[in-house]
């Protein structure tokens, strides 16, 4: 049997990242998020900052791409990648890295269209975590010390970015249940309970084989 | 504590109805589906056939509505409902019936925007069941003795109808994870396992209170 991979898409402020962290801890496996970027950067030859600038952001302006492309290097700067905008190269480098990691070890991957990169992997369990807007506002305004209005704006902006990144690079729709195997509302059950539900689902997947 | 209500939205051919039936059986509670329509028909004074014609169908032509309206009767034929198209009246009668049932007993309700009718009910658990297209085609072509192409057409047509009915009458989006509390892919786990997951989620909801 292959490695067990868990991909987690999440609304901003829904606690999806925490669910992923707790899941990885419970299973004693790695969580990939920003770390994933660093690793992708290393193997592709891009500098880390370029990755962070392009992380889950759908569109940089054409001009910005042109200018930044001058500074890009590594394997994605050779043909046939020469004419490709930098954000596409960054996406492809992440895509490759996600596939490599999934071959090497069981892990949890948060965001970054990992479910799409691993679409052919039957041992991949794709999860989406969401919550009611009022709970997300309350959580984000506390955590980032923002007014409720500012928190709502940040939530809407971040979700919009994540959705357009996902919808642009995959043939699926961000947040649509059909893009995932299991979707959970953290306004109804605790994050601990979400981890239990994910493990239960995995357990049942194995029995289904 | 109030009655436990389970609403199930489902893709055509995903086994969502079967999951609902098994859930109701396991809990020893009623399943509402076509029966719900009959009950709504009885209390609203419409005849059963009109309900079946309008069941989860989003739009009948204006002319058809005009003609059929002549034949409608019962409480929804009085002011302020006189100028309302028949399919709206049918929706409202179902909406009322769903609310009444939820006050009276624990139950499972399949389709019919029940999650929207019960939006204010904290004891309501909203579920969506979906499956991969190839599994749905295989299931429907067997069950209805259709070629694969005919089965695919029927699936697409039925899902489209359900989606436009839901999107028209609610402020939510059919199939979007954010419209439900728990979404499950029956291509990954069995229908029995879905029932277990739903009961586990309910169990956790109670602990979360």
How much is the average pLDDT of B94-121?
A: 91
Confidence of residue B70 (pLDDT cuts 50, 70, 90): very low
pLDDT at A79: 57
How much is the average pLDDT of A188-194?
A: 97
Confidence of residue B77 (pLDDT cuts 50, 70, 90): low
Lowest mean pLDDT among A51-55, A60-64, B130-134, B143-147: A60-64
Type and span of the H or E element at A94:
helix A86-104
For B70, residues 6+ apart whose C-beta sits below 8 A from its C-beta are: none
Q: pLDDT digit string (tens) for B35-50?
A: 776 776 677 776 677 6
How much is the average pLDDT of A168-187?
A: 95
Tokens, residue B76 = 């929804």
Residue A43 within any structural domain of the chain? yes
pLDDT at B34: 76
Average pLDDT, chain A: 85
Contact A182 B177 (CB under 8 A): no
Residue B73 within any structural domain of the chain? no
Lowest mean pLDDT among B1-5, B12-16, B179-183: B1-5
Q: Which of B175, B189, B204 sits opposite A177 (nearest CB)?
A: B175
Alpha carbon dihedral B95, B170, A177, A193, in 10-degree steps, equals -60
Which residues of chain B does A8 touch, with a Cβ-Cβ cutoff of 8 Å? none
Lowest mean pLDDT among A78-82, A123-127, A142-146: A78-82
Lowest mean pLDDT among A27-36, B138-147, B175-184: A27-36
Residue B150 within any structural domain of the chain? yes
Which residues of chain B does A183 touch, with a Cβ-Cβ cutoff of 8 Å? 128, 177, 180, 182-183
Residue A209 within any structural domain of the chain? no
Is the pLDDT assigned to residue A80 strictly greater than 80?
Answer: no
Residue B111 within any structural domain of the chain? yes
Which residues of chain A does B185 touch, with a Cβ-Cβ cutoff of 8 Å? 180-182
Higher pLDDT, B72 or B138: B138
Tokens, residue B3 = 């009655």
How much is the average pLDDT of A162-180?
A: 94
Please confirm whether the linkage preceding A80 is cis (ω < 30° from 0).
yes
- CATH number, position B134: 3.40.50.300
Higher pLDDT, B49 or A96: A96
Which residues of chain B does A205 touch, with a Cβ-Cβ cutoff of 8 Å? 188-189
CB A55 within 8 A of CB A139: no
How much is the average pLDDT of A107-120?
A: 91
Higher pLDDT, A82 or A55: A55
Residue A207 within any structural domain of the chain? no
Total domains in chain B come to 1
Lowest mean pLDDT among A5-9, B8-12, B121-125: B121-125
E-only strand ranges, B34-164: 107-110, 124-130
Higher pLDDT, B196 or B40: B196
Type and span of the H or E element at A183:
strand A182-185
ipTM exceeds 0.95, yes or no: no
Instruction: Quote the domain boundaries for residue A38.
Output: 5-202
Contact B205 A197 (CB under 8 A): no
**Cα–Cα distance between B151 and B156 in angstroms, integer?**
9
Higher pLDDT, A83 or B11: B11
State pTM to two decimals.
0.86
Residue B79 DSSP class? T
Residue B192 within any structural domain of the chain? yes
How much is the average pLDDT of B104-108?
A: 94
Is the pLDDT assigned to residue B57 strictly greater than 70?
Answer: no
Is the pLDDT assigned to residue A51 strictly greater than 70?
Answer: no
Higher pLDDT, B4 or A57: B4
Q: Which of A178, A190, A201 sits opposite B208 (nearest CB)?
A: A190
**Cα–Cα distance between A107 and A94 in angstroms, integer?**
15
**Residue in A132, A167, A179, A188 to test binding to B, most B beta-carbons within 10 Å:** A188
Q: pLDDT digit string (tens) for B82-103?
A: 567 777 877 888 888 899 899 9
Residue B100 within any structural domain of the chain? yes
Contact A185 B180 (CB under 8 A): yes
Strand pairing of B182-185 and A182-185?
Answer: antiparallel
Is the pLDDT assigned to residue A67 strictly greater than 60?
Answer: no
Higher pLDDT, A46 or B166: B166
Average pLDDT, chain B: 85
Is the pLDDT assigned to residue B143 strictly greater than 60?
Answer: yes
Is the pLDDT assigned to residue B66 strictly greater than 60?
Answer: no
Measure A144 CA to nearest chain B CA, in Å.
24
């Amino acid at each position: 049997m292959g490695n067990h991979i868990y991909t987690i898409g999440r609304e901003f402020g829904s606690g999806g990242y925490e669910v992923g962290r707790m899941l990885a801890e419970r299973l004693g496996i790695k969580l990939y998020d920003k770390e994933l970027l660093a690793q992708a950067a290393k193997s592709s030859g891009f500098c880390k900052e370029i990755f962070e600038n392009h992380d889950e952001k759908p569109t940089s302006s054409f001009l910005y791409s042109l200018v930044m492309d001058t500074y890009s290097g590594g394997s994605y700067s050779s043909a046939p990648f020469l004419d490709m905008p930098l954000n596409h190269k960054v996406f492809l480098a992440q895509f490759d890295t996600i596939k490599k990691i999934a071959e090497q070890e069981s892990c949890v991957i948060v965001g970054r269209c990992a479910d799409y990169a691993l679409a052919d992997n039957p041992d991949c369990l794709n999860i989406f975590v969401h919550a009611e807007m009022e709970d997300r506002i309350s959580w984000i305004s506390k955590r980032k010390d923002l007014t409720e209005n500012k928190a709502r704006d940040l939530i809407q902006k971040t979700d919009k970015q994540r959705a357009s990144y996902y919808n642009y690079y995959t043939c699926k729709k961000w947040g649509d249940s059909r893009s995932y195997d299991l979707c959970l509302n953290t306004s109804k059950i605790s994050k601990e309970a979400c981890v239990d539900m994910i493990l239960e689902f995995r357990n049942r997947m194995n029995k289904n084989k």
